[in-house]
Amino acid sequence: MIYNDHMIRIRLFLIVAVLAIIISAFLITFTWTMPREGKTYEITPSPSRPTSPPPQPSPVSTSPPSPLSSKPPSKLGGKEYGLVEYEKYFYTIVWIPCDCAGEKGLATMVIYPKQPRYEEGAPVVVTSQGGHTPGKIQPPPPDFDPHGIVWIEFLFPGGRMEGFESGGVFDYGGRACIEALYTVLQYAQGRISNTAGKRISDYVNYPILTDNVGVIGNSNGGNIAGQVFARYREGLEGVNYVIFYETPAGDHYVLGDLGRIGDDPNRLEDADGDGIPWDDARNLKYIEGSCDETSCQIDFSTLAYDPTVGFYLDNNGDGKPNYVGRYPRVRTDVDGSGALEPDEDFIFMALNVNLEDRRRLVYSYLVTKAAWDKGLFQNVPEDVMRPDEALKFWLDREICYHYDEISQNMPWLKVMQLGFMEDHVQATRDHPHVVINYNAFKKRGHWVRLNPDKSYIEHLAGVKPSVKENHANIDLTFDNVVRHLLLFRDVRLIIQAAVLEMADRTQLNNWSEDLDRVLILEESTPPQPSCRYEIEVVEGYLVTAPNHNKLYVRIYQPKTSLYDAKFPAVIYSGGGRGEGVVGGPEKRILGVAELGVIEVYFNPEGVGPPQYRSEGTPDFGGFRQQDDLMAVIEYVKSLPNVNPDNIGVISFSFGIATAAGCLGRHPELDVKYLIDVEGPSHSVIAAMDYGTEEQQRSFYEAFGHWSLAKDPSPENQAWWAER
């Protein structure tokens, strides 16, 4: 039973615990810090700060944030949460007034450095979050280093997380989201106050450089940023740069019309033999190199419609979609070769939106127009947008239709385009979303650079990873783009390096094509080296349980192509029903793979979301589920990159039943350690006898059993005896 408001504290504890044990087994890890130039400012309450702020944890890096046990005042209006303070930063959550967010305003997290980056003060960067949700507010870990920069994240209208809430209604990156980002940028530039009547500079005693403001366009968030730049002629004079992290600069990229990397059953296996392991699910009807700013060429000659899957390419001509799985979690690699082939279908995805209390499906304009031209809409329900509706929808949401307006409104805007060899969404080999967005700004006279300067990446990494150096404003084409993309895939570090470089360049007005060093750095305090590995994710039905059911397993490990070594491993036994894999690869608990400890998560039999569910039926910590863990441990010990003599298990909450039972019944596994986090030691604790009736009922409905105190029957005793 996982309690979300404990996760930051628990994640820190788990990392410390794992590393402490690994160190005892002679694994050495390093940490890094980054020095900054400028004066040291003492952080003291400003006159406008509340006289009685909420309780704060001790300002040392080893102390996790105090859990948000008191409900944040998101519904009260005119309030603020924090300050929450650590060694190098503190953060507060405020609400910014906006018509798009009604009376509540926009819930906004502002992370202040203890020391500004420059003698003149601290620059500001605002993140426009990606995806198709209102985003999240996730406080950084206690050891986070803001490097002297003020970092801002916010919830788009209608967003809610951990009790923090923005008013209004989420419109999937439309005009409400555009107004929200513009309003937050007004706050970042010191132009407006929050609902507590304070400006961004009222929380610190050093200057905020409101004329050195940047935007991180995180994936689809880059489209919202582009819309802001295109729609507002005034009020953005302090915004100097934007960083696009693989922004899908067109609705055909947003919906994966050219192929989605997530549909590749094994990103490490080159099933189609083209030398690229992660592109096996690309749309083979896409004509490579054909994209322009608003469209791409796809052979739609086999386009068809099916009531279940919608529009698809009937590439085998049998008049029906052929796929495995359950829609929308389907794959059309029906022969199991691991790659799409010319005679296998391709299913187009649609965005399911709720607009004005009506559910609608919208495909890309490219697909919608092709379907209309083929006369396919005769049998398509009205909830699927027609071409004029789809075009109107995407015109309000995609940057690709508005490059001219952006350049007219903000001719001074500098652009950093981020691009990795393995994209986080697109399965295309020619990376058109990167090439098109880069060149759209370049040809309009903007300073553009593909990926941060090597000096900044090396400085933050503490080592010299294999990084390709690109000068600004190089010629980038479909043919040469792969020679300029990053293999080093620490996305957070790369984004941070990009922010530091762009803020430094803005501060010093240095827009040279290349740099030979980090521009702002105290030479007397060189960066300390760290040991951080580039990691990869391996997942799938990798393990067979003793009863022959297939178990879904996800492994985070240092890249086997880069490191010929054996690493320690730790296996996570989840709480509640035992889920270890509940979302995409970005969702993990431990975060130690970069430090040289392989992380393993699994779903026991019958457990997990549909796309990650293991075969069989649940056993909820019983002998069968314990044997599932045994099978996972044996599998991990057999891997060539694992040190079989340094394997541990971490259990969370009710996961202790699985972990302790497995290790107690199978001592031959020779697991070196068990770390338990808040695992219940008795049925009365697990079944919430000391909680509310609602909590007790919830446990019973989930597991089908009361505690032994409430039900001492032989059947119940036998069930608990296994756990």
Sorted by where each starts, the structural domains of the chain and their CATH numbers stand as: 92-249+398-528 (3.40.50), 254-392 (no CATH), 535-681 (3.40.50.1820), 684-722 (no CATH)
pLDDT score for 20: 56
pLDDT in tens, 92-130: 999 999 999 999 999 999 999 999 999 999 999 999 999
pLDDT in tens, 380-396: 999 999 999 999 999 99
Average pLDDT of the residues in 285-305: 97
pLDDT score for 19: 56
Instruction: Categorize the per-residue pLDDT at 17 as very low, low, confident or very high, splitting at 50, 70 and 90.
Output: low
Average pLDDT of the residues in 627-634: 96
Average pLDDT of the residues in 9-30: 49
C-alpha span between 396 and 592 (Å, rounded): 41
Q: Is a pLDDT exceeding 90 seen at residue 180?
A: yes
C-alpha span between 75 and 597 (Å, rounded): 42
Q: Is a pLDDT exceeding 50 seen at residue 529?
A: no
Where is pLDDT greater, at 720 or 439? 439
153 close to 127: Cβ distance less than 8 angstroms: yes
624 close to 595: Cβ distance less than 8 angstroms: no
In three-state secondary structure terms, 200 is helix
pLDDT in tens, 44-83: 333 332 333 333 333 323 233 333 333 444 333 448 998 9
Residue whose tokens read 């762009």: 502
Give the range among 15-19, 417-421, 464-468, 490-494 with minimum mean pLDDT.
15-19
Give the range among 195-204, 360-369, 520-529 with minimum mean pLDDT.
520-529
C-alpha span between 407 and 399 (Å, rounded): 12
Q: Measure the CA dihedral 15/17/20/21, to 10°.
A: -110
pLDDT score for 631: 96
Give the range among 174-183, 231-240, 352-361, 674-683 with minimum mean pLDDT.
674-683
Where is pLDDT greater, at 291 or 10? 291
My answer on whether omega of the bond before 157 falls inside 30° of 0, hence cis, is no
Task: Classify burial at 153, counting beta carbons within 10 Å of its beta carbon; exposed 0-12, middle 13-18, buried 19 or more.
Answer: buried
625 close to 583: Cβ distance less than 8 angstroms: no
Q: Is a pLDDT exceeding 60 seen at residue 86?
A: yes
pLDDT score for 45: 32
**Amino acid at position 492, single letter:** R
Cα–Cα nearest to 63, from 125, 6, 174, 142: 142
pLDDT score for 467: 76
Give the range among 3-7, 307-311, 336-340 with minimum mean pLDDT.
3-7
453 close to 522: Cβ distance less than 8 angstroms: no
Mean pLDDT of the chain: 87
Instruction: Categorize the per-residue pLDDT at 464 as very low, low, confident or very high, splitting at 50, 70 and 90.
Output: confident
Q: Is a pLDDT exceeding 90 seen at residue 513?
A: yes
pLDDT score for 51: 30
Q: Which residues of 205-219 are buried (b: 16+ CB within 10 A; e: fewer)?
A: ebebbbebbbbbbbb
Q: Is a pLDDT exceeding 90 seen at residue 442?
A: yes
Angle between helices 365-373 and 387-395 (to 10 degrees): 170
Stretch (H or E) spanning 125: strand 122-128
Residue whose tokens read 């740099």: 515
340 close to 281: Cβ distance less than 8 angstroms: yes
Highest mean pLDDT of the ranges 280-284, 463-467, 677-681: 280-284
Angle between helices 175-188 and 221-231 (to 10 degrees): 80
Give the range among 33-42, 179-188, 333-342, 472-481 with minimum mean pLDDT.
33-42
Average pLDDT of the residues in 603-619: 91
In sequence order, what are the beta bridge partners of 269?
A: none
C-alpha span between 250 and 293 (Å, rounded): 8
Task: Classify burial at 585, counting beta carbons within 10 Å of its beta carbon; exposed 0-12, middle 13-18, buried 19 or more.
Answer: middle
pLDDT score for 531: 63
Average pLDDT of the residues in 264-275: 88
644 close to 568: Cβ distance less than 8 angstroms: no
691 close to 697: Cβ distance less than 8 angstroms: no
Phi-psi region of 474 (alpha: psi -120 to 50; beta: other; left: phi over 0): beta
Instruction: Categorize the per-residue pLDDT at 10 as very low, low, confident or very high, splitting at 50, 70 and 90.
Output: low
401 close to 395: Cβ distance less than 8 angstroms: yes
75 close to 103: Cβ distance less than 8 angstroms: no
pLDDT-above-90 percentage for the chain: 67
Give the range among 28-42, 202-216, 302-316 with minimum mean pLDDT.
28-42
C-alpha span between 427 and 671 (Å, rounded): 39
